[in-house]
Structure 1
Amino acid sequence: MIFGPTPLEEAKGAILAHSLRLPGRVLKKGTVLDEEAIAALREAGKRDVVTARLEAGDVPENEAAERLASALTAPLIARSRAATGRVNLLAETAGLLVLDAKRLDAINAVDESLTVATLPNYTPVVPREMIATIKVIPFTVPGPVLGVAEVVARSGKGPAFAIHPFRPLKLGLVLTELPGIKESVMEGAVEATAARVEALCGSMLPVERVRHEETPVVEALGRLKRAGAEMLLIAGASAVVDRRDVGPGAIVRAGGVIEHFGMPVDPGNLLCLGRIGEIPALVLPGCARSPKLNGFDWVLQRLFAGVPVTSAAIMAMGVGGLLKEIEVRPLPREQAPRVAPPALAPRRARNVAAIILAAGRSRRMAPLNKLLVADTQGVAMVARVVDNVLASHARPVVVVTGHERDRVEEALAGRPVIFAHAEDYAEGLSASLKTGLAALPPGAEGVLVCLGDMPLVSGPMLDRLIAAFDPEEGRAIVMPTFRGKQGNPMLWAREFLPEIMTITGDVGARHLIGRHADRMVEVEMADDAVLRDFDTTDALKGLPATGRPG
């Protein structure tokens, strides 16, 4: 690749290295310069421009990212479309992410131009969660370099990335009791265990509560086995301190073996791993009564994913195994400051408002007003949208009215929203948008622009967009996507409002993205709600039961 200032006479086909703002347009970084772009540069008084030019054998950044992603993609792993030299890998099912760390290190060591960043090994993931991102650093990669990386990516006995789906195992829990143990402690142990099991797609048999003695525990284990338990847990009223203690002793007396006692994870040191036949049998550490992360979680996740848990695997968990808080020396914890120093303080929440565009004339569904069509529960579409926005952290919520203003306001009666009426709503979407923006309070740092005919976009989805919003870090425009397709609603920082207020006609602000691509971030969503609007009677038939018209 040839990089540096290039005379305009030689710039055709070169890649623009930095975004340039010209009179009436913006040329974005990464633009392949054509005759029109070069003419615009010349008209703006430019004689040369900083570019990257491909040499023989060079592979453009997006193609290189796609090829490396193809070499790393495995079953149950999806990938996004390539953009700005980046491809994201996504989990297609709930399970445990298992990586070939050495192979991934080897790919990153091939050349500085190619990078692969992943979640930590053995991370539990949910569908559509990003597990890795492949980023090409320069605009091009030498073909031989990319070829070596592809060979490394495909080497080894299995894939570099693997998702081991969680299995719907049936679990049995033995809870031992001693005099004086509070009932709340016993209930807490059951609740915490049930929550863990359900999160991993499993189910619980009725809990066996017995005396803290070997014989009752052995009998309880037998009853659970006969009931179909595929995993056995013992939560002792007293912590296990030796392989010959009550819990481990009961596993051995029931015909099992103890494979490992103790683990280099804190909390979780006193976990005991055994089996009865092929059924895993564990004695839980005392910390398992708490829902907080501990070593038991790491073992349980692997067992539900069908990943073998051996003595060697447990002993290899020490690096990163310190999970609990520790005292900050030289002060004892009780003397430590209550407030974290500024450098350690959590990032403050951004003040994001929302506007809901509900002014349109619904021409495609005339004579009906689509926003007022009620679902099977009697809730109007616009009310469903407003309720979803109110379930998010966005405040205040401004509803822009226009066509059938009184009926829309009546449908939203009692909801804590601000109404802003667009007198010129017939002029198109831009008129409604500007009315909503004008009603925002001065303290709003950003605004979610929501459409009144997208009732499937939930509050948690909106909160994901808000969480990604940080203008100071370059995430000033936030756009939801599903499988690489861009959707709605979009979140805009206040800095763009003056530019949006200049828009005219029946268009929104989406076309402004081209001018500010370096300030935008995409947030992948778990389903296609961000792509689905309902503006025809045929589209309404595709609504799920809670959103389908009656």
Structure 2
Amino acid sequence: MRKVKAQEAIGMVLGHDVTRIIPGQFKGAVFKKGHIVHEDDIPLLLDAGNDYIYVLELQEGELHEDEAGMRLAQAIAGPGITWSPPEEGKVSLRAQWKGLLRIDVPLLTWINSMEDIIISTLHDHTPCQEGMTVAATRVIPLTIAEEKIRAVEDTCKGHTMVDILSYTLQKVGVVVTGNEVYHGRIKDSFDEMLGGKIRDYGATVVEKLLAPDDAEQIANALLQAKDRGAEVLITTGGLSIDPGDVTRMGIQKAGAEVISYGAPILPGAMFLYALLDGIPVLGLPACVFYAKTTIFDLIFPRVLAGETIQREAIIKMGHGGLCMECEVCRFPRCPFGTG
């Protein structure tokens, strides 16, 4: 470290904390070690009794933590990600628009295995709002060898570690099944329980039809919703093993290929996922009408973001797939679906 006059330290890096005492009011650091001195800092330095300060002198090939953090953020960020200026070495990455967070977990693990570099993120597939903090990065020491940062930059060329997928599918077709609803014995509560969630993702229900427990009529309703331009199809109910539940048969009769029936998610065990001429079909079990958060909340944003759902992905959801059914639901800021 080198001793310099405070007035001559502009642009230099503090090598120590600067403490200020105001009798009876305050004692603490007004500047932390590693702070880059700016012109408007000079009066505070002098008021704190620091006519001279010690500054760090970076050697060739060394980076200050702020520059290192910024370069890391720029290296890992993909579409839909922006970042803020460093604060005590930490750079926060935020969602630039509403969408689905995607994390390259193997790449994240590789970067974090490097000495003196850390990147912390939300879990993969988190639904995000614009401006939401999704990741942060920093280096552990005050200075770091530039070659370590360059290694990350070189590895991230051509692909990204963190990005936000936009919700590109917007038109939803709905078939509410069940004799009890079709014949008016009970109220259709789809709009009340799921309509708001669909709108929150920016999607619109372009067609909603009621169908009895009849496979042929369920199939016809699905095809009618498809013809109305639906990009995602949803059915509700009729997926248990009861003899009167024929929704699965109706989906197949419409010509859809069932990718997965049954899921290790609670609530949502009887979930069905299929493709009808490439259009995702979500067969929702009855739990969506009474549980606050279900498999719908895990699958629907992925589908809107254009992801192709494979059975393997649904199977893996069993890790973290048990909803704690909290009195106050804070999803997605909770463990549900974070495996």
- Residue ranges of structure 2 left out of the alignment (5+ in a row): 328-339
**Which residue of the partner structure matches residue 130 of structure 2?**
127
Q: Normalising by the residue count of structure 2, what TM-score does the alignment of the two structures yield?
A: 0.80
| 70 and 301 in structure 1: CA distance in 2 versus 1, 3 angstrom threshold | same
User: Does the CA-based 8 Å contact 2:81-2:164 persist in structure 1?
Assistant: yes
**3-state DSSP of counterpart to 1:205:** strand
Report the alpha carbon displacement of residue 134 of structure 1 after superposing the two structures with TM: 1.5
| CA offsets 1:391-424 (integer angstroms, 9 cap, x no match) | xxxxxxxxxxxxxxxxxxxxxxxxxxxxxxxxxx
The within-5 A match list for 1:43-442 is: 44=49, 53-112=57-116, 114-154=117-157, 158-179=159-180, 186-236=187-237, 238-241=238-241, 246-290=246-290, 292-325=292-325
**AA in 2 matched with 1:106:** W
Distance 1:150 1:66 in 2: 11
Report the alpha carbon displacement of residue 304 of structure 1 after superposing the two structures with TM: 0.5
Distance 2:156 2:17 in 1: 32
Report the alpha carbon displacement of residue 48 of structure 1 after superposing the two structures with TM: 8.8
Distance 1:107 1:202 in 2: 36
| CA offsets 1:250-279 (integer angstroms, 9 cap, x no match) | 111111221101112211111011122112
User: Does the CA-based 8 Å contact 1:77-1:91 persist in structure 2?
Assistant: yes
Q: Greater CA radius of gyration, 1 or 2?
A: 1
Q: 1:16 and 2:15 equivalent?
A: yes
- Worse-matched range after superposition: 131-140 or 57-66: 131-140
Distance 1:139 1:294 in 2: 45
- Residue ranges of structure 1 left out of the alignment (5+ in a row): 1-5, 327-337, 339-550
| 194 and 185 in structure 1: CA distance in 2 versus 1, 3 angstrom threshold | farther
| CA offsets 1:79-114 (integer angstroms, 9 cap, x no match) | 2123321222222221111110110111111122x2
Distance 1:7 1:182 in 2: 85
Distance 2:82 2:243 in 1: 45
Distance 1:317 1:111 in 2: 31
User: Does the CA-based 8 Å contact 2:172-2:231 persist in structure 1?
Assistant: yes
Report the alpha carbon displacement of residue 44 of structure 1 after superposing the two structures with TM: 4.7
Distance 1:269 1:60 in 2: 51
| 100 and 291 in structure 1: CA distance in 2 versus 1, 3 angstrom threshold | same
Distance 1:243 1:302 in 2: 32
Distance 1:47 1:167 in 2: 58
Report the alpha carbon displacement of residue 165 of structure 1 after superposing the two structures with TM: 0.5
Distance 2:243 2:300 in 1: 20
| 94 and 260 in structure 1: CA distance in 2 versus 1, 3 angstrom threshold | same
**Which residue of the partner structure matches residue 445 of structure 1?**
none
Distance 2:186 2:58 in 1: 67
Report the alpha carbon displacement of residue 182 of structure 1 after superposing the two structures with TM: 11
Percent of pairs with identical residues: 26
| CA offsets 1:122-147 (integer angstroms, 9 cap, x no match) | 01112222221122332211122222
The structure that is helix-richer by fraction is: 1
Q: Point out which structure has higher relative CO (alpha carbons under 8 A, 6+ apart).
A: 2
| 255 and 32 in structure 1: CA distance in 2 versus 1, 3 angstrom threshold | closer
Distance 2:90 2:103 in 1: 20
| 185 and 88 in structure 1: CA distance in 2 versus 1, 3 angstrom threshold | farther
| 278 and 69 in structure 1: CA distance in 2 versus 1, 3 angstrom threshold | same
Report the alpha carbon displacement of residue 235 of structure 1 after superposing the two structures with TM: 0.8
Report the alpha carbon displacement of residue 65 of structure 1 after superposing the two structures with TM: 1.2
Report the alpha carbon displacement of residue 285 of structure 1 after superposing the two structures with TM: 1.5
Report the alpha carbon displacement of residue 47 of structure 1 after superposing the two structures with TM: 10
| 7 and 58 in structure 1: CA distance in 2 versus 1, 3 angstrom threshold | closer
How big is the alpha-carbon RMSD for the aligned residues of Structure 1 and Structure 2? 3.6
**Which residue of the partner structure matches residue 504 of structure 1?**
none
**3-state DSSP of counterpart to 1:224:** helix
| 180 and 71 in structure 1: CA distance in 2 versus 1, 3 angstrom threshold | closer
| 105 and 98 in structure 1: CA distance in 2 versus 1, 3 angstrom threshold | same
Report the alpha carbon displacement of residue 205 of structure 1 after superposing the two structures with TM: 2.8
| 186 and 275 in structure 1: CA distance in 2 versus 1, 3 angstrom threshold | farther
**Which residue of the partner structure matches residue 28 of structure 1?**
31
Distance 2:315 2:285 in 1: 16
| 185 and 8 in structure 1: CA distance in 2 versus 1, 3 angstrom threshold | farther
